[in-house]
Structure 1
């Protein structure tokens, strides 16, 4: 689609509108996503702080537990056992919280397992201490000192693990801070850019709507002019237009539709009943039937009927129509009514002239046929009496009389050949031509049989390729082959046996430079070539003209009709024939016959 045409189309505005809505939703989605990401980054940063705080709290509780243990060793105060239990519960709460908030981090989960093991070991040491009685103990004794320092190693290990976990969280804190800051920067940028794009699309839509509004005003002006031009065209073209709403069955007539009937525009409400009053009585039933089909099939084929105008003048109307769907999705049958009275009258005159011409042609054809046959009757009598005169009284005649009789006999023979050729030519020009699919090889054999006597006398040699099957007029193609063989033998060199070569090939029209295709693409190209006397190439077209001869009738017999018959036969088959010759080297006749008739 052309870009400019697409920009001007209503589809472009719809696409921009839908795209703007989509981008607004996209902005909302992006904003929501980035706010979620920002919130998530914030939660992750807070989670890192919470892990560090809980670890520190837990270590403080462990440290308090260690202090309470030492106080118990030093004072053997049984009430300290209660505070130790409280410290253990606080440690458990902190440890569970650390396990919960670090469960999505594999490294921290491993450290938490180690930490729980150390704390459990710490509990074990404390429980052993609590099971002892230090009331009689002496401060500074070896056992007392060992119990007093028994949790130091565990405390060191706990501190070490906590420090590693805090280090991991500090590392995560750096990354999460970076992500958080990046989200803080990119989120407004995304929102700003998408808002700019949306604003651009809205501005583009506004510009497009403004232009469309201007175009609508311009189109309205053009439409007014077009309506006036259409009305004028209807008057000049002598036609009117009408519409039938297939949903409401309401008609609308143009101004000239009324004028065609002899009324002023809008003289009556457009309806079928008032229009039918003007239909010729003999055509009313036909028009009503067409109208029923039109409503049922939603199509009005072109048809002609007669009407009477308001002044009683008889006119011929031609109507046609087709269905369209308007913007309201209503089916509207739009039709035209054309006054074709002059055309109908002219056609009647042409038909009458054609009828007279056809009668004249039949009479002329009958005259030609009868004349040709009637000419043969006196000719037969002339030939009969000359034959008797030669047989009985030829020797009794003077030398000059014998020459006259000989010339009369030769002239009568030439006249018989001429009449036969004229009959053949007439036969090829008649319209009664029945095509049939036949084997051209059979027709060639039949043609050779027709020329058998001449072939034998001249000792002619005929070489032929395998010919195809074609849709042809059989007797005409046989006549074509016979004439071409006769022509090659007739114009052969003296004392040299004629050699006729017949070749065939399948060709495409566009690859042959000799002619323009006449609707057929593929042809059979058949060439008759000989070794005869040939002819000058400047006469290649002239030899196909009726009664044209290139040689004196005393040198070579003939009427000048044979090749004209060949050309007419080829034309009857929508083909082509061309001649090519060279004096004393021979001639060739190239025939093109369509592969499919």
Structure 2
């Protein structure tokens, strides 16, 4: 890439510069370096911005070292070699304290001006003869003309290389995104477009507005014209339309900006993206979503009907088992055991059916509404009144507020959490449940699985039951998940799964924490 500027053979051979450089090296190097540093500061050399972390003594030392190397080259009449070596070191990114991309054109011209000015300053130390002094000045000018020209030509080549790389990256990005770019001169009605734009429009030449509008789907043509007219007023274009350049119809999305001159639209620049595949995927996703919703509705109807239909034979099984027990009191011990097992199995099946029905009902689309949580809690306690009295339980609330919720779902959640607290108790210890609330702002709440909101309501249910091992804190919310056998504690394993589903339906989360023998705490976070 290096093209050394050499107007004629011997351009870099000098009579006076070597002796001038030697005089400075032998007796004035510190003064020469000080002069260079002073001029660099006075002329605001851009390179100094990258050396701000050095102190002034350090910068003077660096300048002295650099000046010494430069003057040694001139003293040996190796000016040409010095130019070649310094430019090649720059191209190889071997500069000591800056990256080669940090060099700007002002660094080249200002730095060489400073070096030339410093050399000229010391010519009186070399000679008092005016003619010789003028020859020395001419040699300084000739050297730095070559230095500047070589460095600037190299800088321009670097810029071209960077622009070429950036253009290649841009074209590659356009191809990957199926995104073409264009400019439209509104005065001449001429357009220029990128290769990807011409590929999208299926043309080898820029397409004028009239021809472009002819290829737009008839149903979308007027919409596009109105969007363009609106862009001339607002300065912004954004439009989605169908395009018919070939037998295959495309869906395109255009976005552009209009540049004005004294209020008159002058030029539009923008991008056009082929979103045909995305629209096809959206249509497929929409169809699948509708099919899934229809399937969910059918499953929900089936679950509802099946649960009611199954409850009746179960009810009859329990009824006839009771009749057998009453009418045949003389049944043997094994016979009575069989009847008890039949009734117990039927009862557990009824509970399972009811929980499955409750789970399926959570898929119904409901919008949260303002509701008093304390009232919903009271309704849940009323449903559990008999068990609370049997257990001698004490349930205390700090006065729950009103919140935007789906009432019947929150009632299910409250009821399941309280049922667990009444079920998993320690022998000889009356159950106690403390229900508290507080509000948290967004910064206090983890982002995971939560709908974004400015404020969150936290509800905590803390009991004094048997607790569980901390590593089961996530497992307890699984479908049909049980930590104990049915012989120890009854249940279907759906209660806490229903609680998590309710939390998710509200855009919130529910978490559990516990220690064996020290009770459990369930923390519900709801966006408000």
Tell me which interval the TM-score lies in, with the shorter structure as reference length.
0.5 to 0.7
Q: How does 1:377-526 map to 2 (within 5 A)?
A: 377-391=312-326, 393-428=327-362, 430-507=363-440, 519-520=452-453, 522-526=455-459
- Hey, what does 1:352 align to over in structure 2? 287
Question: Per-residue deviation at 1:448?
Answer: 1.0
Question: Per-residue deviation at 1:305?
Answer: 1.5
Q: How does 1:550-589 map to 2 (within 5 A)?
A: 550-583=483-516, 585-589=517-521
* Pair 1:301-2:238 in alignment: yes
- Hey, what does 1:262 align to over in structure 2? 202
SS in 2 for 1:308: coil
Q: Is contact 1:509–1:517 with CA below 8 Å preserved after alignment?
A: no
Residues 574 and 211 of structure 1: CA distance in aligned 2, closer, same or farther (over 3 Å): farther
Residues 209 and 363 of structure 1: CA distance in aligned 2, closer, same or farther (over 3 Å): farther
- Hey, what does 1:244 align to over in structure 2? 184
Q: Is contact 1:259–1:265 with CA below 8 Å preserved after alignment?
A: no
SS in 2 for 1:316: strand
* Pair 1:591-2:528 in alignment: no
Q: Is contact 1:307–1:317 with CA below 8 Å preserved after alignment?
A: no
Residues 239 and 467 of structure 1: CA distance in aligned 2, closer, same or farther (over 3 Å): closer
SS in 2 for 1:591: strand
The partner residue of 1:272 within 209, 212, 220 is 209
State how many pairs are aligned: 393
What CA deviation, in whole Å up to 9, does each residue of 1:300-319 have, x standing for no partner?
A: 1131312233xx44333322
- Hey, what does 1:156 align to over in structure 2? none
Question: Per-residue deviation at 1:419?
Answer: 0.9
Residues 346 and 458 of structure 1: CA distance in aligned 2, closer, same or farther (over 3 Å): closer
- Hey, what does 2:297 align to over in structure 1? 362
Partners of 2:48 and 2:261 in 1: how far apart? 22
Q: What is the Cα-based RMSD across aligned positions, in Å?
A: 4.0
Residues 548 and 329 of structure 1: CA distance in aligned 2, closer, same or farther (over 3 Å): same
Residues 326 and 394 of structure 1: CA distance in aligned 2, closer, same or farther (over 3 Å): farther
Alignment TM-score, normalising by the size of structure 1: 0.57
Q: Is contact 2:304–2:357 with CA below 8 Å preserved after alignment?
A: yes
SS in 1 for 2:354: helix
Residues 537 and 554 of structure 1: CA distance in aligned 2, closer, same or farther (over 3 Å): same
SS in 1 for 2:400: coil
Residues 301 and 550 of structure 1: CA distance in aligned 2, closer, same or farther (over 3 Å): same
What CA deviation, in whole Å up to 9, does each residue of 1:346-399 have, x standing for no partner?
A: 4333333333333333333333333222221221222232233334x2314333
Alignment TM-score, normalising by the size of structure 2: 0.64
What CA deviation, in whole Å up to 9, does each residue of 1:381-425 have, x standing for no partner?
A: 22232233334x231433322221221112111111111111112
Residues 426 and 576 of structure 1: CA distance in aligned 2, closer, same or farther (over 3 Å): same
Residues 524 and 302 of structure 1: CA distance in aligned 2, closer, same or farther (over 3 Å): same
Residues 503 and 352 of structure 1: CA distance in aligned 2, closer, same or farther (over 3 Å): closer
Q: Which has the larger radius of gyration?
A: 1
Partners of 1:225 and 1:491 in 2: how far apart? 68
SS in 2 for 1:395: coil
Q: Is contact 1:546–1:564 with CA below 8 Å preserved after alignment?
A: yes
Q: Is contact 1:509–1:516 with CA below 8 Å preserved after alignment?
A: no
Partners of 2:522 and 2:500 in 1: how far apart? 11
SS in 2 for 1:558: coil
Q: How does 1:150-299 map to 2 (within 5 A)?
A: 219=159, 222-223=162-163, 226-227=166-167, 230=170, 234=174, 237-246=177-186, 248=187, 250-254=189-193, 256=195, 257-266=197-206, 270-299=207-236
SS in 1 for 2:252: strand
- Hey, what does 1:314 align to over in structure 2? 249
Higher helix share: 1
Partners of 2:515 and 2:161 in 1: how far apart? 74
Partners of 1:358 and 1:515 in 2: how far apart? 26
Q: How does 1:105-120 map to 2 (within 5 A)?
A: none
User: For structure 1, which runs of at least 5 residues remain unmatched after alignment?
Assistant: 17-206
Q: Is contact 1:508–1:523 with CA below 8 Å preserved after alignment?
A: yes
Q: Is contact 1:504–1:525 with CA below 8 Å preserved after alignment?
A: yes
